[in-house]
Amino acid sequence: MTGSAQSGSLAGLKVVEMGSFIAGPFCGQLLADQGADVIKIEPPTRGDAMRQWGAVQHEGKSLWWPVIARNKRSLTLDLRKPAGAEIAAQLLAQADILVENFRPGTLEKWGMAPALLQERNPGLIIARVSGFGQTGPYAKRVGFGAIAEAMAGMRAIGGFPDRPPPRTGLSIGDSLAGMFTTIGILSALNARRETGRGQIVDVGITDAVLGVMESVVSEHSATGAIRQRVGTGLPGIAPSNLYPTLDDAWILIAGNGDAIFRRLAAVMGEPQLSDDPRFASHRARGEHQQELDGIVAGWTRTRSLADLLVLLEENGIPAGPVADAAELSQNAHFRERGALVEIDTPDYGALTMQGVVPRLSETPGAIRWVGPTLGEHTDQVLAGDLGLEPEAIANLRNLGIV
């Protein structure tokens, strides 16, 4: 592990995380990475669903859990039982932030409506993540990231026009919701400095996807245009695409700026292309995108990926390989920056994972430990944070509450 017991810009903040899967817990990961004390409440016995998730596992253990639950303390608690909900409410009475991603109405059903929680703790910030948000006609619907990506327009513009709309390969809708929730929490913390009061941060996963949809909606609003799936390129931006190499690899070249394109044309041995009326300006290149992509692809096919990367870098032309996990793990730049780190773990040995983002110069975050075992910190939280005696904790355990 790296770092001290608690360090980083958010050290001193206490966060209670409820819920499972990705959106809320990813927000919790981001806060914990920057030093917040995140207490993750999990159901006794089965724990968070993320303990089992992941297409590839190591000896039956999830390889996602060590990342998304890192730096968190695990408290087992049955929130469906009144005694469990009351313990959670006591914990929230001394917390700064609650992150929950239950279906809307669940907290209320368990006697933890935001108004009641903030009556006991007026400074509590309550971040609520759900498929469609806390209000609106769809609010009560069950929603996951994949559904939000489809309904908020992201799936419609990815992939090739002659094939079904694909997913990105990642749960991007959930991750975006977690990031926007983190932004909302930090904004509410700043407001609390002036008012002393907490507030509710309401994030629908659909909201988060819509939030990164660039000009897709305004394009339609102003012109009626509907952005379509275009495969690997950017409509009207050329050359900026994947191109084949001599050794059957792919290279992404972004040579669409005027000055960059002049350098690219020279490197290709065809400097006259930059003066050709079809390619002399940004707009012209976009209008002749398919033709220009063919010319660039014809050149890249004659060289290996390694040769192309060296040549393009030497001439200041943005380019990069399409890297898989094995290539990422060997990338010296990512290793040196700490974008990828190797952590010693009790269950997996030396495990490589992504580092803390963003990097702060004065109060950097850290990976203090990976995802904990189920209930690893239950006694610590109940005794140390709430002051419960060993007999009381044992009684809660016998009743199945923890």
Q: So which residues are the catalytic ones?
A: 174
Q: Which residues pair with 126 in a beta bridge?
A: 98, 200
Q: What is the CA radius of gyration of the chain?
A: 25
Contact 127, 27 (CB under 8 A): yes
CB half-sphere exposure, 219, CA atoms < 13 A: 8
Q: Tokens representing 216?
A: 């897709």
Q: How many CB atoms lie within 10 A of CB 80?
A: 12
- Chain position carrying tokens 């929490």: 185
The alpha carbon of 330 is separated from its chain's Cα centroid by a whole number of angstroms, namely 22
Q: Tokens representing 111?
A: 């006697």
H-assigned helices in 231-374: 258-267, 282-287, 289-300, 305-314, 325-329, 332-337
Contact 268, 214 (CB under 8 A): no
The SS3 of residue 91 is helix
What distances in angstroms separate CA 116 from CA 89, 103, 110, 184, 209, one per listed residue? Answer: 9, 18, 11, 21, 31
The SS3 of residue 118 is helix
Backbone φ, ψ for residue 97 (5° rounding): -145, 140
The SS3 of residue 272 is helix
Biggest alpha carbon–alpha carbon distance for the chain: 84
The SS3 of residue 350 is strand
> Of 167, 163, 293, 289, which Cα lies nearest the Cα of 235?
289
Contact 63, 362 (CB under 8 A): no
